[in-house]
Chain A
Amino acid sequence: MSLRHPDAIGVIAIVVLGALVIYGGATTPDPGFGVVSPAAFPVVLGVLMLASAAWLARDIFGAKIPTIEPIDRGPFFATVAATGLYLVTFVPLGFVLSSLVFFPVQSRILGSRALVRDVIATVVFVACVYLLFVKFLTIDLPHGPLPTP
């Protein structure tokens, strides 16, 4: 297996995950009743993951290294960061504040340059989602520092 093959990193990731699942399964306490321990299924899954890693490694062993399209690093990593931040701040900042900040920022990351349009679209969209969920469907959304509606 060549480490330059794009799937080599996948093999390593599957081995790590398989080991983690085996560890998680093996450390599950067995209360002693029943024929099969609750640890059995996760351990079997972990072992099969290791087998699938070996299978994948065998498939890419000596195989021609395929070309893989490079990604647009800027927009990709900015989207990962913005999405992560949005989902983490969704509860403490509340739906309205976090969405009002996230939506235009994310649009800009994805190439929009019409700031005024994006801000108007953000306000309208967030208001519609809020009305639909909170007022019509009576589903509580986090309100953050804003007063409770």
Chain B
Amino acid sequence: MEVFGSLLGGFATALTPQNLLYAGIGVFLGTAIGVLPGIGPALTISLLLPITFGLDAVPAFIMFGGIYYGAMYGGSTTSILVNTPGESASVVTAIDGYQMAKKGRGGAALATSAIGSFVAGTIATFLLMFLAVALVSFAVKLGPPEYFAIMLLALAAVTSLSGTSAPKSFFATLLGLALGLVGTDNQTGQLRLTFGISELESGIDVVLGAIGLFAVGEVLWYAATLRSQQAEERITLKGSIWMNGEEFRRSWPAWLRGSAVGFFIGALPGAGATIASFISYAVEKATARGRRKSEFGKGAIEGVAGPEASNNASAGGALVPLLGLGIPGSGTTAVMVAAFQIYGLQPGPLLFDKRPDLVWGLIASLYLANAMLLVLNLPLVGLWVRLLDIPKPLLYGGILVVSAVGVYSLNRSATDLIVVFVLGVVGYLMRRFDYPLAPVILGIVLAPLIDNNFRRAMIMTDGDVIRLVTRPATATTLVIALAFLMLPFMLRLYARRTGNREVAELAETDVG
């Protein structure tokens, strides 16, 4: 009951006219930017971060709730009508969504996507409240050794589930960790990996990483593949934006299954919306019977309803480790950590005690953002599609200008702009040679936390590593981390032995 009391307090905070306006602006901007191809949720949040600088923490985070869910939803419109997923989590939606649009059922595909996102987002936010609170009471009992092990687990999970080559994913994680260590060591005050460059003493912010790797890298990628860019085949929306009776009856079980899959996959460190949507698609295909099974790939509404629901539910799930433990499990939530840090806050168990207004205001705003998405998205579908009419040269030029402004407004530093440029070139090269980017972002955020917790844990155990790794909770977590590292090998082995294509695709999926 305490949870509901706190939630009511959160609604009291979020339901002021001013905060409702900020939530609405967040939802609108998150969807508008998320619709654009090549711009995923992590980049959307990074690009929109500066617009919250002038706000107090509570309205800023209420706006963030809207941006977060809006960005997660945005990719579906382009998947369904243009066959160009706005982000990797919408790749699966394009398979059946685009086929439905070609058959004149684009409106129904958009409707099942919007309503499914609402249902899943609401269920996920409800589960988030209870799970995060339960995790908080557990997290306060954890010490540095356990935190160290949990962070290694997050890194192991994202490393094993990202990219198509194990050594490349491993290197991407190490690169992120190295970038995260640049600057002043906060335990001894010594400078590390700055190579005499005084401007690097304050470190490399995760927002610089996200904007450099994703935004500048994306523009360079577009320039490098300019001639091979194919003209978009856009489907004009015809008929009613609504489902018929049969489509609705087929959709709602898929929404519920997608919500369950998405939330629990999203809550696992490393396994984000992309994995959730792939698994949800596989679940829908496996549970379909008779004629419906053969419709998959040709316009099955379950192939849109399930993955879209799981995509949004995973956004709620991903907030569980972030709010409950203070540990991000994905590139997107790693950028959210930067948003907390800008306000001098550290997400985690103590935040529930110190700033209940902020935490519960954020959770309440997630409910509101979901409702706003439902109200806004279907009537505004024409506007979202028109955003795709922006000529690509202007769009990419605009992304660079907004990126430069965002980076500069973080610390008013010219060096940050150069760091972003270098990271952009690195991001392009990594993408060209198939290195995943999500582990880099997560590594930047986790490096100082892992380092601090490991060193504090070593003080606790008088420098005895064996004592550290044999504590029951630490040992269990490290074994799970090891299992995650083995997962892609096991999946590939299983796929090779059984010839199961879905498992093979899952093993090759890049969550970044």
Which of B51, B165, B219 sits near A137, CB closer than 8 Å? Answer: B51
CB of B102 within 8 Å of the partner chain: no
User: Which residues of the other chain, A, contact B168 by a CB distance below 8 angstroms?
Assistant: 10, 56
**Scoring A residues 16 to 46 as 1 if CB is less than 8 Å from chain B, else 0, what string do you get?**
0100010011001111011110110110011
User: Which residues of the other chain, B, contact A138 by a CB distance below 8 angstroms?
Assistant: 54
CB of B131 within 8 Å of the partner chain: no
Q: Contacts A10-B433, A83-B421, A87-B417 given: A38-B224 contact, CB under 8 Å?
A: no
CB of A48 within 8 Å of the partner chain: yes
Which of B185, B401, B409 sits near A99, CB closer than 8 Å? Answer: B401
- Give the shortest distance, in Å, between A56 (CB) and chain B (any CB): 4
**Scoring A residues 99 to 116 as 1 if CB is less than 8 Å from chain B, else 0, what string do you get?**
100111011111110100
CB of A121 within 8 Å of the partner chain: yes
- Give Cα A106 to B166, complex, Å: 36
Contact check, B167 vs A59: say whether CB atoms are below 8 A apart.
yes
- Give the shortest distance, in Å, between A26 (CB) and chain B (any CB): 11
Which of B194, B223, B432, B458 sits near A72, CB closer than 8 Å? Answer: B223
Contact check, B193 vs A25: say whether CB atoms are below 8 A apart.
yes
Contact check, B409 vs A75: say whether CB atoms are below 8 A apart.
no
Contact check, B190 vs A87: say whether CB atoms are below 8 A apart.
no
Closest residue of chain A to B176 (Cβ to Cβ) is A45
Contact check, A42 vs B193: say whether CB atoms are below 8 A apart.
yes
Contact check, B192 vs A102: say whether CB atoms are below 8 A apart.
no
Contact check, B398 vs A125: say whether CB atoms are below 8 A apart.
yes
Contact check, B455 vs A35: say whether CB atoms are below 8 A apart.
yes
User: Which residues of the other chain, A, contact B498 by a CB distance below 8 angstroms?
Assistant: none
Contact check, A52 vs B459: say whether CB atoms are below 8 A apart.
no
User: Which residues of the other chain, A, contact B402 by a CB distance below 8 angstroms?
Assistant: 129
User: Which residues of the other chain, B, contact A109 by a CB distance below 8 angstroms?
Assistant: 223, 393
User: Which residues of the other chain, B, contact A110 by a CB distance below 8 angstroms?
Assistant: 222-223, 226, 392-393, 396-397
Which of A34, A45, A132: most chain B Cβ within 10 A? A45
Closest residue of chain B to A38 (Cβ to Cβ) is B185
The main secondary structure of chain A at its interface with chain B is: helix
Contact check, A91 vs B417: say whether CB atoms are below 8 A apart.
yes
Which of A30, A75, A104, A137 sits near B223, CB closer than 8 Å? Answer: A75
- Give the shortest distance, in Å, between B398 (CB) and chain A (any CB): 6
Contact check, A35 vs B408: say whether CB atoms are below 8 A apart.
no
CB of B472 within 8 Å of the partner chain: no
Which of A49, A75, A129 sits near B171, CB closer than 8 Å? Answer: A49
Contact check, A35 vs B462: say whether CB atoms are below 8 A apart.
yes
- Give Cα A139 to B167, complex, Å: 42
User: Which residues of the other chain, A, contact B192 by a CB distance below 8 angstroms?
Assistant: 24-25, 28, 38-39, 42
Contact check, A34 vs B187: say whether CB atoms are below 8 A apart.
yes
User: Which residues of the other chain, B, contact A121 by a CB distance below 8 angstroms?
Assistant: 394
Contact check, B193 vs A24: say whether CB atoms are below 8 A apart.
yes
Q: Contacts A55-B170, A76-B223, A139-B50 given: A87-B459 contact, CB under 8 Å?
A: no
- Give the shortest distance, in Å, between B469 (CB) and chain A (any CB): 15
User: Which residues of the other chain, B, contact A7 by a CB distance below 8 angstroms?
Assistant: 433
Which of B174, B181, B432 sits near A48, CB closer than 8 Å? Answer: B174
Which of A33, A72, A91 sits near B408, CB closer than 8 Å? Answer: A91
Contact check, B454 vs A36: say whether CB atoms are below 8 A apart.
yes
Which of B193, B397, B405 sits near A95, CB closer than 8 Å? Answer: B405
- Give the shortest distance, in Å, between B4 (CB) and chain A (any CB): 36
- Give Cα A110 to B391, complex, Å: 10
- Give Cα A27 to B390, complex, Å: 50
Contact check, B409 vs A31: say whether CB atoms are below 8 A apart.
no
CB of B228 within 8 Å of the partner chain: yes
- Give Cα A98 to B93, complex, Å: 40
**Interchain residue pairs with CB less than 8 A apart (20):** A25-B192, A42-B181, A42-B192, A45-B177, A48-B174, A52-B171, A52-B174, A55-B170, A56-B168, A76-B223, A79-B219, A90-B408, A90-B417, A95-B405, A102-B400, A103-B397, A107-B391, A111-B392, A140-B412, A142-B408
A residues apposed to B, CB below 8 Å: 6-7, 10, 14, 17, 21, 24-25, 28-31, 33-36, 38-39, 41-42, 45-46, 48-49, 52-53, 55-56, 59, 68-69, 71-72, 75-76, 78-80, 83-84, 86-88, 90-91, 95, 99, 102-104, 106-112, 114, 118, 121, 125-126, 129, 132-133, 136-142
